[in-house]
Structure 1
């Protein structure tokens, strides 16, 4: 199952589109940068790979960073160190695409975020009474992800977490879909003049599935126009 994490899934441009982040931002997270005489290490990779392809694990972990990009200017130096510590503590190259830090390993996460000097606004877990609870961005992220054991196997790209739209590495080559039907194909049928009931019958979907697919695709188009 862990082999799926290393699978190359998307071009950098496509991953950025699906995550709704700037490609330059995603590239920096993956490859770091060189500015004047100073080099900045990647966030999601242990070292630059000189590639514009994105693995499934990198895509999922970028989804985690995206949660913080919604409201915060993520501090790269401390965040980089935090993820490095998580790699060491959990012994995996992709700790944010692993369920344990969010569920059973919160004590290790707490130690890592304090050791990295990560500001409280960027913590994954926080103390509440005598419990360690997920912060709002971390909780929102983990609810976007479907798990098989401790491995991330699906991701919800829709801002509405009630949406059934999913990205899965083994379904439609990672394209957003509902019940195995690409949302892009559903939108194309709608653009061609088919009504929702006809589309639902065509692909053996419920009418609500079609509505969710169209809502997602229309929001993607709106985001692209606004960029």
Structure 2
């Protein structure tokens, strides 16, 4: 189940940019690599370019984690050597698996990999605090945003500000939804004149869930326009 879930191809590059708040074209660069000043930069999240226009659930989840680092001073491209090593230890999509974040052995292995590749502090996933190996704040936010299923991420919250909104590769075609109702559909009906109270009654949702759905679409729309 783990392999088929993470390898479920259901998104476009545009989806990834919009749903995790990236600038247009970022997801393609992370997944397919890019050329700058005549030099080719390898993909961060794939072993090599695939030429495909679809993105898997595992790649979406890993992009969600990398998005936590997008405001840091060090380019996420520098994470590639660490991800390559973690892939060797944990298998495909190592950042979408539970062990690096949940158990002591996983965190210790991540620490060793970070030291091996000389990963800069702003991009590290684990650090030692008070003699304990803990997740850095960015990794903690990611862990709080996901739910694990059979040791891999089965659901994720695309934005912490809208906790009712979830993405699940097995429901609503993997799109953001509240209780299986796509946020995009709720926003379209709201723009057409249906009140939040009517939407809550129609889809058996709470007003708070409807508000989260509408808020998420505003956030995602702003990211797309940026």
8 Å CA contact 1:43–1:80 kept in 2: the answer is yes
CA contact (8 A) 2:163 2:212 kept: yes
1:37 CA displacement: 4.8
Match of 1:100 in 2: 99
Q: Is the 8 A contact 2:22 2:223 kept in 1?
A: no
Partner secondary structure for residue 198 of structure 1: helix
Q: In structure 1, what is the Cα distance between the partners aligned to 2:84 and 2:7?
A: 18
Q: Which moved more, 1:15-24 or 1:106-115?
A: 15-24
Residue 57, structure 1, aligned to residue 70, structure 2: no
**Counterpart secondary structure, 1:61:** helix
Deviation at 1:174, TM superposition (A): 1.1
Counterpart for residue 191 of structure 2: 191
In 2, Cα distance between equivalents of 1:166 and 1:152: 12
Identify which of structures 1 and 2 has the higher relative contact order when contacts are C-alpha pairs closer than 8 Å and 6+ apart. 2
Q: How many residue pairs end up in the alignment?
A: 223
Q: Which residue of 2 aligns with 1:181?
A: 181
Tell me the secondary structure at the aligned position of residue 119 of structure 2: coil
Q: Gaps spanning 5+ residues in structure 2: where?
A: none
State the 1:35 CA deviation.
3.9
Tell me which residue corresponds to 2:211: 211
Q: Secondary structure at the match of 2:147?
A: strand
Structure 1 residue runs without a partner (length 5+): none
8 Å contact kept, 1:196–1:211: yes
Partners of 1:11 and 1:119 lie apart in 2 by: 30
2:119 paired residue number: 118
Residues 1:170 and 2:170 are matched in the alignment: yes
| Other-structure match for 2:75 | 74
Provide the rounded CA distance (Å) in 1 between the counterparts of 2:198 and 2:69: 40
The C-alpha deviation readout for 1:130-154, integer Å capped at 9, x for no partner, is: 2100000010111111111311111
CA distance in 2 between partners of 1:44 and 1:23 (Å): 17
Q: Distance in 1 between matches of 2:200 and 2:164?
A: 15
Looking at structure 2, the residues matched to 68 and 23 of structure 1 have their Cα atoms a distance apart, in angstroms, of: 16
Partner of 1:152: 153
TM-score (norm 2): 0.93
Report the counterpart of residue 128 of structure 1 in structure 2.
129
Distance in 2 of aligned mates of 1:71 and 1:129: 24
The alpha carbon displacement at 1:183 in A equals 0.9
